[in-house]
Amino acid sequence: MTPSRAGRHAAALLVAATAALSVSTANAADPALKADQSAQWGIGLGVGLERKPYRGVGTDVTALPLLMYESRWLSVFGPGVALKLPSAGPVSFRLKAQYSGDGYESDDSDALRSMRERKGGFWFGGSATWQTGLANLTAEYLAAAGRSDGQRFKLQVDRAFQQGSFEFTPRLAAKWADDKYVNYYYGVRNDEVLSNRPFYQGKSSVNVELGLRVNYALASNQTVFVDMSAATLGSGIKDSPIVDRSTEAAVRFGYLYRF
């Protein structure tokens, strides 16, 4: 794996780990932390296995250190930063900035030979989460800063179930990506066309994801986690000539120590 590719997949794992742990670490904090809203640091190690839908691309395995910072108004995990805004009753709001390691390099597979590299980039936006008592409902909007110039919107429902030292959080999400995002990462430009790789203009797409996060508290300040997800891809992505799968899947696990 080349250095740039390793960095891209490392960033992707960190972003995914953020989603897996940002809520659980706050919930697992000591009562004293909840009472005085003091800051908390954490370090750990994460490992991710990810299967992208690109033709001929196998499963990527990445391991890297994790860094967490959580306070009353700020949440940091890897390349993701969230500013916590004042809540409105059961609805909480956040402004977000994160780096996403989407994309590929032309040597990732024979099917991508002579394709220009598609790079990851920074995304900015916000989210609102409504805690209903039965489940959490989250709406999130992110816009790319450069690269694809794309936009993404997610609607997610999840609920945590506590069983002793275990916490189980299943989730269901619909993820929309606009035509600019899909065209950048899954389109084929005129100068990339081959006899077996026709021109393709990407169009907006909706992916449906089912996931499960499991946290286990080894101690009051130590957590191990596993996060599993599988997504059905929308036609805008599936129809691309550089894609040969209708689904993508990932498994991420690791350990976090909170100071």
Mean residue pLDDT of the chain comes to: 87
pLDDT, position 31: 39
Residue 77 pLDDT class (50, 70, 90 cuts): confident
Please give the average per-residue pLDDT across 155-182, as a whole number.
97
Structural contact between residues 214 and 171, judged by C-beta atoms closer than 8 angstroms: no
Residue 56, domain extent? 3-258
pLDDT at 16 over 80: no
pLDDT, position 62: 87
pLDDT tens for each residue of 215-251: 999 999 999 999 999 999 999 999 999 999 999 999 9
pLDDT tens for each residue of 81-117: 999 999 999 999 999 999 988 889 999 999 999 999 9
Count how many domains the chain has.
1
Predicted TM-score of the model (pTM): 0.85
pLDDT, position 1: 46
What CATH number is given to the structural domain containing 113?
2.40.160.40
pLDDT, position 126: 97
Percent pLDDT > 90 in the chain is 75
pLDDT at 15 over 80: no
Percent pLDDT > 70 in the chain is 86
pLDDT, position 162: 95
pLDDT at 201 over 50: yes
Residue 12 pLDDT class (50, 70, 90 cuts): low
pLDDT, position 19: 47
pLDDT at 23 over 80: no
